[in-house]
Chains A and B, each alone.
Chain A
Amino acid sequence: MRAHSATLTICGKDLRQELRTRESFTSAFFFSLLIQIVFSFSFDFQSLGLGFEDVGAGILWITLTFSAILSLQNSFLIEREKNCLAGLALCPCDPSAVFLGKFLANSLFVLAVQVLILPISSLFFGYDLLRVLPGLCLVVTVNAVGFSALGTLFAAISVRTRRSELLLPLLLLPAATPVVIWGVKATRLCLAGRPLDSYGYLVALSACFGVIFTVAGVLLFDYVMEE
């Protein structure tokens, strides 16, 4: 099988499975929603006189980070049932194609949750989403993809261990510090209504992060999948 068609097959398989069960999306979405609700309790915007521009970037990024971890985890946990991991390892294609397929599907899952959560957060916190939409879309997409690149590799590692649910956040959160920092900073500038010029370099850096860890994933995934 050619590498790109194998990648698309794996990605298609995950998307199809998700469309039928809606397990990952539903849990990640409700989790995101709950985080937002907890935040609106934690920061009482009206009485504190805070603007969403001040803390909004943090809220959006905590939501994205934690819900993404949930989706990433699920993408490999479903493969543990009926020993599908062995099936994936035995696929007549390069292991890197499996990585790329999973990475693609994970990025789509993470972004799908954001598509619903961003409008809801604009309702909850009362900011003008349409005004910042193009910039915010760019920042969220690039950073979510970067986060998923490293996250897919680490999820594949943690699923092989005994307490995978515990291990993924421990591995991923410190290592993904750069995308979180750049994402928060770019989002803050974007929410403050600054032009793309002022945070474009942050988006570029996150894109580099994504590229570096996609390459690392492609090169190292073989060792992770071995039985």
Chain B
Amino acid sequence: MHRGLELALFFLVAALMILSLYCVFQVVPNEVTMGAVQRIFYFHVPSAWVAFLAFFVVFVSSMLYLATRRLLWDVVANAAAELGVLFCGIVLFTGPIWARPVWGTWWTWEARLTTTLVLEMVFLAYLVLRTQAENRAQAARLSAVVGIVGFLDVPIIYYSVQIWRGHHPIVFKSSGGQGLEPIMLKTFMLCMTTFTLLFLLLLAMRIRLGLLQEWVAELKEQDSIPGA
């Protein structure tokens, strides 16, 4: 992406983030039953959305890499996988903070939680695989296969965990969905937009960094050839 565009996006995200924080802590009222802790939901759910979006980007760019063999797609897949793991980590971190006062426990093996945890593990393994490959092209090829298989696995894992645990009596719907106050919904949509744009910004920056890394590796390789 063009540097100017990236800079513009940076300032947009910064402004939206401040606005989001203001709305979350100053504008929206306290939720009746859950109290102040429910506010974490404005960051928790957008992070989950961004994580899934990121893993979808991994899936698509992995397929594009295998089809076209352009290194760019591998750089995109790697960037998206790192961000997916990051945002998935935020989900797994903020979830328990919310669950402790509301559900009375830090962790429960509910379908969505378990799926998120397993998903995090799948893509952590993806990142480990990338560091273990013997050369650059191999890292790209093997991780593309894992990226595709890992993403295909997500709905199956979700379904299997649902069968395992049955339906948890308290689901996230109690804090969202139809019963949401208009101001809460607006704030929620604002946070969703902010996080999506934050993801795009980080993705663009990571891709640019990734391409620079490729370039440096290429230069080093040229340098190491004797007589070159």
Contacts and interface: CB of A to CB of B under 8 A. Distances in A.
Interface of A: 150, 153-154, 157-158, 160-163, 166-167, 170-171, 173-175, 177-178, 181-182, 185, 202, 205, 209, 212-213, 216, 220, 223-224, 226
A120 B17 CA distance: 61
Closest 9 CB pairs of A and B: A178-B160, A174-B121, A161-B132, A170-B125, A181-B160, A171-B125, A181-B164, A174-B122, A220-B145
A170 to B, nearest CB: 4
A216 B149 CA distance: 7
A80 B124 CA distance: 26
Nearest to A171: B125
A158 B143 CA distance: 10
Contacts of A163: 132
Contacts of B156: 178, 209, 212
B161 to A, nearest CB: 7
B200 interface: no
A224 B145 contact: yes
A162 B157 contact: no
A158 B160 CA distance: 25
State the majority secondary structure of interface residues on B. helix
A223 B149 contact: no
Contact of B159 (A174, A178, A223): A178
B131 to A, nearest CB: 9
Contacts of B160: 177-178, 181-182, 205
B9 interface: no
B217 to A, nearest CB: 18
B141 interface: yes
Contacts of B134: 160-162
5 contacts: A160-B133, A162-B132, A170-B128, A209-B156, A223-B141
Given A175-B149, A223-B145, A224-B142, 16 more contacts: A158-B129, A160-B134, A160-B142, A161-B132, A162-B132, A162-B133, A167-B132, A170-B125, A171-B129, A175-B122, A175-B125, A177-B157, A212-B152, A212-B156, A213-B149, A220-B149
Interface residues of B, number: 30
B146 interface: yes
Given A174-B125, A178-B156, A153 B164 contact: no
Interface of B: 66, 118-119, 121-122, 124-125, 128-129, 132-134, 138, 141-142, 144-146, 148-150, 152-153, 156-157, 159-161, 163-164
A177 B164 CA distance: 11
Contacts of A224: 141-142, 145
Contacts of B152: 212, 216
Contacts of A185: 163-164
A171 B123 CA distance: 9
A209 B124 CA distance: 22
B142 A157 contact: yes
A177 B117 CA distance: 11
A219 to B, nearest CB: 9
Contacts of B132: 161-163, 166-167
Given A153-B145, A171-B146, A223-B141, A161 B133 contact: yes
A167 B163 contact: no
A202 B119 CA distance: 22
A162 B133 CA distance: 6
A30 B19 CA distance: 62
A182 B148 CA distance: 23
- Identify the interface centre among A153, A161, A224: most chain B CB within 10 Å of its CB: A161
